[in-house]
Amino acid sequence: MEGSSELAKEFPGVVSLLRFLRKSGRLSEIDKFASAPDADSAIEVLKDALSTIYRSAREVEGRWICHYEEIGSEEDRKRYEFLCGRECIRGNRVLVPCPKLPTDGELERLREGIRSGRVRPGHLAALALAKGGRGGRGA
């Protein structure tokens, strides 16, 4: 098993995608990835998330946003501040920037890493859920 910084360097697009899922409140998809029974299932979860991102991307306020939502209550605001940070809140809207997307090569390396036991989806998911992962653009 590799350390966190090595995983983040080897799979920057995957980590960015998983952090995006956290920021946009899609925690169940991170959980599905973390608990995938095999490499193919883990990759499929990521590909499904990518499909959603491709369909939802739009330019808002001069930047590409892949999650846009109206904040309906103070509870929603607090939840998004916790998941994404204040940088995602604009008035009564949540604007989550698009992630850096993993390449096909990165996904294939991940598939092989999971198959060999060198990489565990749960460790990548933990990176995405870590508070230090709030980061800026492309995080």
Reported as a single tens digit per residue, the pLDDT across 58-114 is: 998 888 999 999 999 999 999 999 999 888 999 999 999 999 999 999 999 999 999
**Residue 58 three-state SS:** strand
Please report, for residues 28, 40, 82, 122, the alpha-carbon distance to residue 114 in angstroms, rounded to integers and kept in the order given. 20, 9, 30, 10
pLDDT score recorded for residue 5: 80
3 state SS of 84: helix
State the chain's mean pLDDT as an integer. 90
Share of residues in the chain with pLDDT > 90 (%): 76
What's the rounded Cα separation, in Å, for the pair 120 and 92?
A: 38
**Mean pLDDT throughout 126-137?**
64
Q: Which two tokens stand for residue 84?
A: 């994404």
Angle formed at CA 95 by CA 31 and CA 130, multiple of 5 degrees = 35
